[in-house]
Amino acid sequence: MKSLAQNFLWLFLIGSISLLSSCKKDDIAPTDYGIFSSQDANTAVMNGVIGSNTPAHWDNFIAAFPSTNTIIMKDCPGSEDDTANLEAARKAHSSNLTIHLPADAEIASGAVDFYLAGTTRTREPGSKIGVHSWSDGSKDATEFPVGHENHQPYIDYYKEMGFSQEDAEAFYYFTINAAPASDIHWMTDEEIALYKILTP
């Protein structure tokens, strides 16, 4: 099994070409839940890389398990497709879910954005939350000035998830300055509290 660091490096290397090889959503069977699985009638487990088909996989899952009110995220190293990631996250957010990180959870990059979709967000000590800058393939986010339009989709997303304008900007600019796109910064407990990653 790949370590989270190996998975992260792999995502960074292939992210820009992943859309070319992804299958069409129409080809997904209704019983294909992708990275989601059912722990019980109310609880989903999320384990793996968020991809282009994750929104369709989530639709399949919630149709099969409509009483789901909790997602447990485990080893989620990030996303191959930011657009699909935020689409799936918005779907999850609309279901008013609790998203929980057990003690052995490791989530990073786009998976952290998905985690913020929980209307209730909890974690156990030992769980890891990793952030970094995004890249468009030639430039890291930090190469665009503060206030540039390329930053706005993420700030707007955090606001949709319940952050104030000030908190959304603070967390976003923290993430892109915490580590370059090819690296990762594991947030401290103090940072997790400061940037209001967990719900009260």
CATH number, domain at 77? 3.90.226
147 is written with which tokens?
């206030």
Whether 132 maps to a domain, the answer reads yes
Reported for 123-130, long-range contacts at CB under 8 A and 24+ positions apart, including other chains, are 123/192, 123/198, 124/100, 127/101, 127/102, 127/103, 128/186, 128/187, 129/101, 129/186, 129/187, 129/192, 129/197, 130/4, 130/8, 130/106, 130/184, 130/185, 130/186, 130/187
Q: What is the pLDDT of residue 18?
A: 40
The pLDDT profile of the chain, 200 residues, written as one tens digit per residue, is 444 444 444 454 444 334 333 444 558 899 999 999 999 999 999 999 999 999 999 999 999 999 999 999 999 999 999 999 999 999 999 999 999 999 999 999 999 999 999 999 999 999 999 999 999 889 999 999 999 999 999 999 999 999 999 999 999 999 999 999 999 999 999 999 999 999 99
Structural domain total, the chain:
1
Q: What is the pLDDT of residue 11?
A: 52
Whether 166 maps to a domain, the answer reads no
Q: What is the pLDDT of residue 162?
A: 97
pTM over 0.85: yes
Segments forming the whole domain that contains residue 33: 4-137+181-190
Whether 145 maps to a domain, the answer reads no
Whether 31 maps to a domain, the answer reads yes
Q: Could you tell me if 185 and 109 are in contact, meaning their C-beta atoms sit under 8 angstroms apart? A: no
Whether 82 maps to a domain, the answer reads yes
Whether 158 maps to a domain, the answer reads no
Q: What is the pLDDT of residue 26?
A: 57
Whole-number Cα distances in Å, 18 to 15, 59, 88, 135: 5, 21, 17, 14
Q: What is the pLDDT of residue 21?
A: 37
- Terminal Cα distance for the chain, rounded: 35
Whether 198 maps to a domain, the answer reads no
Whether 196 maps to a domain, the answer reads no
Beta strands 36-40; 43-46: pairing state: antiparallel
